[in-house]
Amino acid sequence: MTPTSSGCVLVTVTGKDHPGITARLTGLLADAGAELLDVEQVVVQGRLTLCLLVRLADARGIPSALLFAARELGVDLDFQAVESPDSSATVTPAPARYVVTAVGRALGARELHALSSHLAGQGANLERIVRLTHTHLGSVELHVTLPASVEPEALKRSLLALSMRDNTFDVALQRESLFRRSKRMVVMDMDSTLIRIEVIDELARAHGVGEQVSRITERAMHGEMDYDESLRQRVALLAGLDVAVLHQLAANLPLTEGAETLVRVLRRLGFRTAVISGGFSVAAEALKARLGIDHAYSNVLEEEGGKLTGRTVGPIVNARRKAELLEQLAKQEGILLEQVIAVGDGANDLLMLERAGLGIAFRAKPRLREAADTSISAGDLDAILYLLGLTHRELQEAG
């Protein structure tokens, strides 16, 4: 090994991991007066890779000492002379750093090839891959840098298209910043998000008006009437339904897979949680009590003599109201909007998702998936925890 004029050497250590390797080698470097400029270490399945970038004032004797120590430690050691960055050179803006999180039932070579090839084709430079799951390869973080020529929004759309085409894993693109790991509140829709059903459809079937309600819903979806009017018409069809039916349904809501884990871990980590739903308060309050959610806002059905009147009480929780409630809650809790996550599945969740620092479309229609910051379709609701950068071990500790 012949050092460059800068005296910089990259020392790469590989082999079976065991305690004391890093301590021994850095001790030798310290004794020799070497300046440590950079370090990176990773252990995969018991195999160590350790890289040390050092500047040597005097290289005599150091390589042989390190090689002798490596033999005793049972590892391989490689030296490479490199140029150090010129601190006097013109400083260029650092490339934007992003984290791509992939979540699936199992991520194999095919999935990682598709993802890494796509990123390379878009000009993203892959710097680091971190495994988040423990027992199987179910989630990984890919840390990438993007050149100025790459538009993050365009990359997000192309990654969404990739995940929709593959349909076995979800992909999220987030800017690597202070706020990515400092989220403090999660706001969720209820129907078809926290629970697997639409409460109004179940009530309509129980009251024998399921087809009529479905026709009104279909008209609203095609833009033939606004949300408020469609809700009024559907609720009107529930007039005369025994309130006991509503309470029985609320007591047995089928939770979405991963919902209990998600809320339990969020609570343990100190997050504030809320349900903001266009559904009904009896169900939302039951869900709030069952899961330990902090806040619940939804439409209130008017009752009279143990029957539903076919009317709602108070303002309708529509798309605009959902976004307003999210902002009010954040302000009330002293939390920045950048620290809020919003999760929903329908068109009336769009404004709420746009107001939040991270908007997640969960098992949603393509239109909402394209508009949201990211989407989850292949995974369960607790896959959201991986988007926070949490590992499987951390989730076990928090759970």
**Residues labelled catalytic:** 189, 191
Tell me the residue ranges of DSSP E strands in the chain. Answer: 8-16, 35-44, 47-55, 75-81, 96-104, 125-131, 139-146, 169-175, 185-188, 272-280, 295-304, 307-313, 340-344, 358-362, 374-376
**Helix (H/G/I), strand (E/B), else coil: 18:** coil
Residue 137: alpha-carbon gap to chain centroid: 16
**Helix (H/G/I), strand (E/B), else coil: 393:** helix
Q: Which residues contact 53 (CB under 8 A, 6 or more apart)?
A: 8, 9, 10, 11, 36, 37, 38, 39, 82
- Whether residue 346 contacts residue 366, with contact meaning beta carbons closer than 8 Å, is answered with no
Tokens representing 47 are 């195999």
Rounded distance between C-alpha atoms, residue 353 and residue 355, angstroms: 6
| Cα atoms in the Cβ-side hemisphere of radius 13 Å centred on 244 | 3
Rounded distance between C-alpha atoms, residue 386 and residue 396, angstroms: 13
- Whether residue 216 contacts residue 234, with contact meaning beta carbons closer than 8 Å, is answered with yes
Expressed in percent and rounded to 5, the helix, strand and coil fractions of the chain are 40, 30, 30
The 3 state secondary structure assigned to 296-325 is EEEEEEEEECCEEEEEEECCCCCHHHHHHH
Residue 26 belongs to what H/E stretch? Answer: helix 21-31
How far apart, in Å, do the first and last CA atoms of the chain sit? 51
